[in-house]
C-alpha cells in the first residue's frame, strides 16, 4: 500500500510542476495522461502486495492475469480520452507515455525490493 501512496504523491507532485508551465487546455490533457497510468500502476501494486503476502506462490499467475486486465483498461482509457473527451492529443500522449513508463519502472523497482526483502 505504501508503494501505491508514493506513486500517487509523486505523480500529483510532478503533474503540479508540469501544470505550472503548460497552457490551461494542455493542463487537463496532461492530467488525463497521468490518471490512467496512475490508476493502473497503483491498483496493480496493491494487488501484487496483497498476493505476495497471502499467496506468494500465485504471484506470477496473478500478475499475468493483471496484465490482461491492464491491456483492456489502457486501450479503453486512451480511446475514451482521445475520442469522447477530445483532449489535446499531443500533451495527452506525451504525458500518458511518460507516466506509463515511469510508473512501470517504479513498479519494477518495488517488485524487486518485495521479492528480495519480503517488504
- The string of pLDDT tens digits covering residues 65-89 is 999 999 999 999 999 999 999 899 9
Angstrom CA distances, 11 to 30, 70, 81, 82, 104, stand at: 11, 19, 19, 21, 12
CB 88, CB 32: distance < 8 Å: no
Average pLDDT (46-74) is: 94
Contact 30, 91 (CB under 8 A): yes
Cα gap 34→25, rounded to integer Å:
15
The per-type count for the chain, helices as H runs and strands as E runs, is 4, 0
Given a cut of 90, is residue 38 above it in pLDDT? Answer: yes
Nine cell digits for residue 66: 493483471
Average pLDDT (84-111) is 95
Task: For residue 85, give the 3-state DSSP assignment.
Answer: coil
For the chain, domain boundaries: 2-117
Distance, in Å, from the CA atom of 92 to the CA atom of 88, rounded to the nearest integer, reads 6
Q: Does pLDDT of 8 surpass 90?
A: yes
Question: Global pTM?
Answer: 0.89
Amino acid at each position: 500500500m505504501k508503494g501505491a501512496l508514493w506513486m500517487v504523491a509523486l505523480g500529483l507532485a510532478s503533474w503540479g510542476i508540469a501544470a505550472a508551465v503548460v497552457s490551461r487546455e494542455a493542463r487537463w490533457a496532461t492530467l488525463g495522461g497521468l490518471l490512467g497510468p496512475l490508476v493502473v500502476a497503483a491498483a496493480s501494486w496493491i494487488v501484487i502486495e496483497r498476493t505476495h503476502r497471502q499467496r506468494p506462490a500465485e504471484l506470477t499467475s496473478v500478475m499475468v492475469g493483471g496484465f490482461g486486465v491492464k491491456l483492456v483498461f489502457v486501450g479503453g482509457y486512451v480511446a475514451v480520452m482521445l475520442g469522447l473527451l477530445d483532449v489535446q492529443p499531443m500533451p495527452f500522449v506525451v504525458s500518458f507515455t511518460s507516466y506509463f513508463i515511469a510508473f512501470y519502472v517504479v513498479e519494477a523497482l518495488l517488485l524487486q525490493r518485495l521479492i528480495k526483502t519480503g517488504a
